[in-house]
Amino acid sequence: MAAYVLRRVLWGVVLLALVSLLTFVVFYVLPSADPAQLRAGRNANPATLAQIRASLGLDRPLTAQYWTFLTHIVLHADLGYSYYSGASVGSLIVDRLPATISLTLGAAVVWVLAAVPLGVVSAARRGTWVDKLTTGGALLGISAPVYWLGLLALYLFADDIGRFPLFPGAGSYVPLTDDPWKWFTSLILPWLVLASTFTAVYARLLRGNMIEVLSEDYVTTARAKGLSERRVVWNHGLRAAVTPLVTLAGLDIGLLLGGAVLTEAVFGIPGIGRLNYEAIVHADYPVIQGTVLLAACFVIVANIVVDVAYAYLDPRVRER
Amino acid sequence: MSDPILAVEDLRVAFDTRDGLVQAVDGVTWSVAPGRTLGIVGESGSGKTVAATTAMGLVRGARVRTSGRVLLEGEDLLAASPERLRRVRGATIAMVFQDPLSALHPLMRVGAQIAEALRSHRSGMSAADARARAIELLEHVAIPNARQRVDAYPHELSGGMRQRAMIAMALANEPRVLIADEPTTALDVTVQRQILALLRRLRDELGMAMVLITHDLGVVAETADDVAVMYAGRIVEQAPAAELFAAPQHPYTWGLLRSMPRLDAPAGAELVPIPGRPPSLVHPPSGCRFHPRCPYVRERHRSVDPALEPLAGTPEHRVACLLSEAERRAIWARLAQGAPR
Amino acid sequence: MRRSVKRALPLLLLTLAAVLSACGSSNSNGGGSAATADDGAGGHRGGTVTVLTSQDVTSLDPGITYQSLDLNVLASVVRTLYTYTPTAPATLVPDLAAGPPQIADGGKTLTVRLRRGVRFAPPVNREVTAGDVKYAIERGFNPNVANAYASTYYGDVVGADRASGGPIAGIETPDDFTLVFRLTRPTASLLVQSTVLPLSAPVPPEYAKPFDAKAPSQYAAHVVSTGPYMVAADGSGRVLDTGYVPGRSLRLVRNPNWRAASDHRPAYLDGIDFKIGGSATVYGRQTLVGRGLVLADPPTPALVKKAYQQARDQIFFSPGAGTRYAALNTAIPPFDDANVRKAVAAALDREQMRRVRGGAVIGDIATHFLYPGVQGFEEAGGLQGTGVDFLADPQGDRALAARYMRAAGYADGRYSGGATVQIVGLAGAPDSNDAQIFDQTLQDLGFRTNLKLVDSTVMYGRFCGVPRARVNACPNVGWLRDFADPQTVLNLAFNGKFIFPENNPNWPQLNDPAINRAMDRAELTVGTQARANAWAAIDRMVTATAAAVPWLYDRQPNVFAKDVRCVPELWNQGHCDFSYTSLK
């Protein structure tokens, strides 16, 4: 197992290098916006533009720029400096990461806690009103765009602009270390909104898996053994049905850790997603590289963790 | 025979499907006494498994219609409450299934599955005790190295050992009745014999009644005391095992026997499969259900449905066939010589 | 500068248009009975205002910054040689200067005397001297700073053409409180007007040089204030991650070294907090119902409607927010023919273009390129226009358009050539609606069109600003002045010598030798009124070529909370000026 993990980690490093190269190509070689132009505004004559380019290091050959970038990361753990604020990319990311982690992990807890009972019950009571209600709710959750749901949540429940002021509104996020209660209450609406789509998807998935599993032979055996129906459904059924969901959840969390842009934007949460979006709008290359690499890192780690977890959960998969 | 411990009376099971009502079991009556083995033989689709699982109360649902009675020690299981059924299953009546790889939970260790069976019927049994008892049970079914194997996952065991483990699990609470549904089908031949021997030994040790469901007459010949042959949801012939093999009376039984390789057949004799395919259970054939595939069919057989009648002379031997007894004996005499029909 | 990015969500446009056009006259002081321009006198002292903005500032370095929001922040943080008061966007007022400028030598020498007693904020603390202003301008030429307009406006200073961050000979400091600019050409009038831009805000060289030595300069992280407020900083003067957290927050606090006696700003507020990076929609709603809030984003049409209907005293329509026009590419067919261009101008229904943006309260129909608040506007014809027939009817004159097409050689009054006209506009309502109206107008004239809607950066950076892209028409472009002098509106936009292969500001690629010569002469004209007259004449000439079709003199709506007495900067898109704003 250790050798397996090590191999995956090494491959992960190779992948990260590839991602950084691809990001570099996309933004430097095929740019959609020129940071020098954005900085200069339309008043700049070509000489000024050239000057700005030089000051940002954009006039050097592409390979030299990439080499500098790569060596800085590997040798000095230095991701460079934002073209705009001059802040170091590393510090920007470290500053924003806790918010994204808070948002993602909280939402994950919500959607797992919600999806499991919904999925199990709607599978066990297939065809009844419980099942139909869950399916209908799931359809809504999957179809509703997150941004719209967020606005709706704010217009209904935010304590500053909502019709039924219950929860803190947009922009009220504070770090956990500053004020734990305020941190918690400010994240309730974002957690619910972000979790809604996932709850719907996971409940549906679990329902499908459970229906399949409940018709498997070993479930019949469990009943034949005289186990209570509750034990049959939850210990035998769920145990077998949940494995694909665990891996999916791992991957989704990995993705979300790279930033949930829309939720962060609506609720004004200063996370990685927003950082990434703003960097793209400003063509702030160093920050873009930093956030993309971070997101790739999370995805790679999530993949490794998920594969290991799968082997742990399903012993049939383990290599000998 | 002594009083039966499990008696199925006129059991009918139908499934409401999109294509129509599937009459899987159409009036089946059999019983088994303690210490005796009933073999139920038939091809797939004959209803043999459904009858047995219905007896356990495992076939329930909005689309299932059952009628008849299943009397376990005098109590009708079909009318029992779910809680009563739960208490009876795995304790008084147990079942062993065909494919232990799919019938055992793939993600739970074998010992844990046995322990679960124990503890769900013995409240107050500690985990340690259950584990110890599980190891004992595994040793009892002749699994070597039981102390290690108790923590194995099903896929880590060989086919034969898996089946032994499943048997150990079924017998954990010393049931009075064991239903074994094709217990050897998924195994290779040498292992089959071992498993059958194991089942016989355990049956004798515990004084269980055993119902052995199979499509393999060889298995039945070795192990069963009585045999029931099922076709299209009904019993077409029922007799003590020796009697059935010596003087089978139903054309379907003849077909089964002749399609089976036998050591005492003349050298060079060919295996003769039964022509045709199993009938639809939604729209069964009119008259005698076997008539489309029967080499001896007459016009009358297409419209008259034979009932299960005892033979004159040997009342334990029952047949559902419209040919006369004399005709049937004559035909069998010919077939036993090796004649084609 | 060109228009900043407007982001609007497509909501309820037609009802918005109906509501707003039913009321609101074109009162140039703010539509209908909405909030009116305020000079801020008599406000209450104290309190903090929270500014909500979904966009971050681009840079806090006065030598770099050039965006509207940045100018709004810096207006309260640094002091320039001259400035505007919020309600007089065309009148220079001394700020750091002690009095009016002295222009001599036929416009080749500018002398400015500095006020005494103005001090830098901590940690520098000392008095501001002429050398600080000199360094501030010189660093604009440093590639590590690379100011976008330094060479445009200070380029005529002796030695500026060779400057790269070191001393410039043409900026002299005979004593600590006197600045003398020596120019190679008589453009001192333009130069003094340009000192309202932040480049002339003093920068202490002994403090800033180490930061300016890095590429790019790190001075933005350590910017030092001279105005009534400063960016909250730590003991060493570092504002980055203390007062300014990029993408998150910006905190302005009182500058302890500022003296009210040395300034005309009242500075009522105790502090200003910027909340950066949320959703503009949510911010708008919060501002409308909250307290102590100012919305820095352009309000969405839905918000404008809601505010106009329910909280009219919370919305201000700031005039002089620029001219919107449709640029026609004069370098390639079919718009290389002046008659065709005039036909397009005559055919365009400019009132409809305005209606989809909200109707009369949103601005006046444009008739030429100088707009209200820019010197020379009245001289060029004011709202009435220059008198050209193809812009006489704001609803368009199809018959006249047909006549011009016939004059161009198309006998039945419609285009019959083979070329497909490439139009590039902005995605997102209401800009996309305007682009579509324009597209339809061309089709009605018989053109085959290909309309592409993209975002602002792409439109300017890849299409309209790149001659090689061969875009025929850009209906969503516009121009904002840099300061009140009309040269900043007309020169870069229409002078043939500013046609660049990339980042081209002269979108129509107008290259008329007579106009070019007139512009070159007007550049060197001395005296505010003389310049106004000269450039007004050029405005008339440019309008007559129909190289671009002006359609709206924009008013920028601004929204603020009910307890905020916002004093809008009429010279900067109507942003609330925090040195004059107070809480009710």
Smallest CA–CA distance from B157 into chain A, residue: A316
Residue B45 domain flag:
no
Task: Look at C146 and A51 and tell me if their CB atoms are within 8 Å.
Answer: yes
Which has the higher per-residue pLDDT, B336 or C92?
A: C92
Q: How many whole angstroms separate alpha carbon C20 and alpha carbon C11?
A: 14
Residue whose entry in the numeric block shows the structure tokens 């790679």: A300
Which residue among B173, B191, B219 closes a domain? B173
Q: What's the whole-number mean pLDDT along residues B122-130?
A: 88
Task: Look at C286 and A169 and tell me if their CB atoms are within 8 Å.
Answer: yes
In order along its 584 residues, chain C shows pLDDT tens digits of 544 433 333 333 333 444 444 333 333 444 444 667 778 888 899 999 999 999 888 889 999 988 899 999 999 999 999 999 988 888 999 999 999 999 999 999 999 999 999 999 999 999 999 999 999 999 999 988 888 889 889 999 999 988 888 999 999 999 999 999 999 999 999 999 999 999 999 999 999 999 999 878 889 999 999 999 999 999 899 998 899 988 889 999 999 999 999 999 999 999 999 999 888 889 999 999 999 999 999 998 889 889 999 999 999 999 988 999 999 999 999 999 999 999 999 999 999 999 998 888 889 999 999 999 899 999 999 999 999 999 999 999 999 999 999 999 999 889 988 889 999 999 987 899 999 999 999 999 999 999 999 988 889 888 999 999 999 999 999 988 889 999 999 999 999 999 999 889 999 999 999 999 999 999 999 988 999 999 999 999 999 999 999 999 999 999 999 999 999 999 999 999 999 999 98
**Of C328, C510, C331, C509, which is closest to residue C424 (Cα–Cα)?**
C328
Q: What are the C-alpha distances in Å from C433 to residues A94, C18, C356, C456, C478?
A: 42, 16, 7, 15, 16
Task: Look at B89 and A218 and tell me if their CB atoms are within 8 Å.
Answer: no
**Nearest C-alpha of chain B: how many angstroms from A123?**
14
What tokens does C171 get? 């900026």
Residue C34's pLDDT is: 60
Residue A32's pLDDT is: 62
Task: Look at A160 and C152 and tell me if their CB atoms are within 8 Å.
Answer: no
**Nearest C-alpha of chain B: how many angstroms from A219?**
8
Q: Is the dihedral of CA C482, C484, C489, C492 positive or negative?
A: negative
Residue A215's pLDDT is: 87
**Chain B residues inside the 8 Å CB shell of A316:** 106, 153, 155
**Nearest C-alpha of chain C: how many angstroms from A294?**
18
Residue A43's pLDDT is: 63
Q: How many whole angstroms separate alpha carbon C436 and alpha carbon C430?
A: 10
Residue C542's pLDDT is: 96
Residue B260 predicted with pLDDT over 80: no
Q: Assess contact for C196 and C204: CB atoms under 8 A.
A: no
Indicate the burial class of C493 (C-beta count within 10 angstroms; 0-12, 13-18, 19 or more).
buried
Given a contact as 3+ CB pairs under 8 Å, which chains touch A?
A: B, C
Residue B263 predicted with pLDDT over 80: no
Residue B96 domain flag:
no
Residue B288 domain flag:
yes
Q: What are the C-alpha distances in Å from B43 to residues B47, B213, B277, C296?
A: 9, 11, 10, 81
Q: How many whole angstroms separate alpha carbon B122 and alpha carbon B119?
A: 5
Q: Assess contact for B5 and B209: CB atoms under 8 A.
A: yes
pLDDT, averaged across chain A: 86
Does B contact C via 3+ CB–CB distances below 8 Å?
no
Indicate the burial class of C79 (C-beta count within 10 angstroms; 0-12, 13-18, 19 or more).
buried
Q: Assess contact for C246 and A84: CB atoms under 8 A.
A: yes
The CA-CA-CA angle for residues B111, B116, B120, to 5°, reads: 155
User: Which amino acid does the sequence have at C146?
Assistant: A
DSSP E strand boundaries for chain B: 6-17, 20-32, 37-41, 64-72, 75-76, 93-96, 177-181, 209-214, 226-231, 234-240, 309-310, 318-319
Segment B279-283 long-range contacts (CB within 8 Å, at least 24 positions apart): B279/B232, B281/B22, B281/B23, B281/B24, B281/B45, B281/B47, B281/B232, B281/B233, B282/B17, B282/B19, B282/B20, B282/B21, B282/B22, B282/B23, B283/B20
* Best CATH choice for the domain A96-318 from the list 1.10.3720.10, 2.120.10.30, 3.20.20.100, 3.40.50.800: 1.10.3720.10
Task: Look at A228 and B105 and tell me if their CB atoms are within 8 Å.
Answer: no
Domain residue extents for chain A: 96-318
Task: Look at C146 and A160 and tell me if their CB atoms are within 8 Å.
Answer: no
Task: Please confirm whether the linkage preceding C123 is cis (ω < 30° from 0).
Answer: yes
Summarize pLDDT for A217-263 with one digit per residue, the tens: 899 899 999 888 888 988 898 888 988 898 899 999 998 998 888 99
Judged by a CB distance cut-off of 8 A, whether residue A98 touches chain C is no
Residue C578's pLDDT is: 95
**Nearest C-alpha of chain B: how many angstroms from A114?**
24
Q: How many whole angstroms separate alpha carbon B71 and alpha carbon B64?
A: 20
Summarize pLDDT for A278-299 with one digit per residue, the tens: 888 877 888 888 899 899 989 9
Task: Look at C150 and A56 and tell me if their CB atoms are within 8 Å.
Answer: no
Site from B54, B58, B88, B116 to mutate, A interface, most A CB atoms within 10 angstroms: B116
Of A37, A48, A275, the CB nearest to C461: A37
Task: Look at B117 and A226 and tell me if their CB atoms are within 8 Å.
Answer: yes
What tokens does C541 get? 């000439």
Q: What are the C-alpha distances in Å from C3 to residues A124, C71, C152, C376, C482?
A: 60, 14, 19, 21, 11
Q: What are the C-alpha distances in Å from A214 to residues A117, A217, A234, B207, C142?
A: 15, 8, 10, 34, 73
What percent of chain B shows pLDDT beyond 70?
97
Which residue among B151, B173, B195 closes a domain? B173
Q: Residues of C88-117 as b/e, b for ≥16 C-beta within 10 angstroms?
A: ebbebebbbbeeebebeeebbbbebbbbee
What tokens does C234 get? 């730590």
pLDDT, averaged across chain B: 87
Residue-number span of the structural domain to which B326 is assigned: 247-336
Q: How many whole angstroms separate alpha carbon C173 and alpha carbon C137?
A: 13
The CA-CA-CA angle for residues A252, A254, A260, to 5°, reads: 75
Q: Is beta strand C473-479 parallel, antiparallel or unpaired with respect to B37-41?
A: unpaired
DSSP letters, A73-111, are HHHH----B-TTT--BHHHHHHHHHHHHHHHHHHHHHHH
Which residue among B150, B173, B196 closes a domain? B173
Q: Assess contact for A201 and A142: CB atoms under 8 A.
A: yes
Task: Look at A91 and C241 and tell me if their CB atoms are within 8 Å.
Answer: yes
Q: What are the C-alpha distances in Å from C113 to residues C106, C107, C251, C260, C493?
A: 19, 17, 32, 20, 34
Least confident of A26-30, B85-89, B334-338, C69-73: A26-30
C180's torsion region: left (phi>0), alpha (psi -120 to 50) or beta?
beta
Q: What's the whole-number mean pLDDT along residues A172-182?
A: 89
Summarize pLDDT for B43-100 with one digit per residue, the tens: 887 888 888 888 888 877 778 888 999 999 888 988 888 888 889 998 899 999 888 8
Residue B2 predicted with pLDDT over 80: no
What tokens does B212 get? 């052995």
Task: Look at A274 and C245 and tell me if their CB atoms are within 8 Å.
Answer: no
Q: How many whole angstroms separate alpha carbon B255 and alpha carbon C63?
A: 102
* Total number of domains in chain B: 2
Tell me the ipTM for this assembly. 0.83
**Nearest C-alpha of chain A: how many angstroms from C140?**
10
**Strand, helix or coil at B262?**
coil
Of A34, A84, A155, the CB nearest to C58: A84
**Strand, helix or coil at C425?**
strand
Residue B283 domain flag:
yes
The CA-CA-CA angle for residues C571, C575, C576, to 5°, reads: 110
Task: Look at B155 and A315 and tell me if their CB atoms are within 8 Å.
Answer: yes
Residue B313's pLDDT is: 83
**Chain A residues inside the 8 Å CB shell of C246:** 82, 84-85, 87, 92
A171's torsion region: left (phi>0), alpha (psi -120 to 50) or beta?
left
What percent of chain A shows pLDDT beyond 70?
96
Task: Please confirm whether the linkage preceding C557 is cis (ω < 30° from 0).
Answer: no
Q: How many whole angstroms separate alpha carbon B104 and alpha carbon B231?
A: 29
Q: Assess contact for C188 and C181: CB atoms under 8 A.
A: yes
What tokens does B111 get? 């010992």
Residue whose entry in the numeric block shows the structure tokens 């239903």: B179
Task: Look at A169 and C500 and tell me if their CB atoms are within 8 Å.
Answer: no
Q: Which of residues 228-247 of A touch B (CB under 8 A)?
A: 228-229, 231, 236, 239-240, 243
Summarize pLDDT for A32-68 with one digit per residue, the tens: 667 777 776 666 677 777 877 777 777 888 888 888 8
Given a contact as 3+ CB pairs under 8 Å, which chains touch C?
A: A
**Nearest C-alpha of chain C: how many angstroms from A136?**
28
Of A217, A227, A231, the CB nearest to B99: A217
Q: What's the whole-number mean pLDDT along residues B26-48?
A: 89
**Of A249, A286, A256, A285, which is closest to residue A271 (Cα–Cα)?**
A256
Summarize pLDDT for C175-223 with one digit per residue, the tens: 999 999 999 999 999 999 999 999 999 999 999 999 999 878 889 999 9
Site from A37, A43, A84, A95 to mutate, C interface, most C CB atoms within 10 angstroms: A43
**Chain A residues inside the 8 Å CB shell of C221:** 85-87
What tokens does B22 get? 């599937």
Instruction: Enumerate the β-bridge partners of residue B17.
Output: B20
Judged by a CB distance cut-off of 8 A, whether residue A215 touches chain B is no
**Nearest C-alpha of chain A: how many angstroms from B96?**
8
Q: H or E element: which one contains A211?
A: helix A180-214
Residue C29's pLDDT is: 40
Q: How many whole angstroms separate alpha carbon B5 and alpha carbon C447?
A: 96
Q: Integer distance in angstroms from the first to the last C-alpha of chain B?
A: 36
Judged by a CB distance cut-off of 8 A, whether residue C339 touches chain A is no
Site from C3, C248, C481 to mutate, A interface, most A CB atoms within 10 angstroms: C248
Of C67, C216, C281, the CB nearest to A86: C216
- Sorting pLDDT into bands at 50, 70 and 90, what band is B265? low
**Of C384, C377, C356, C372, which is closest to residue C321 (Cα–Cα)?**
C372
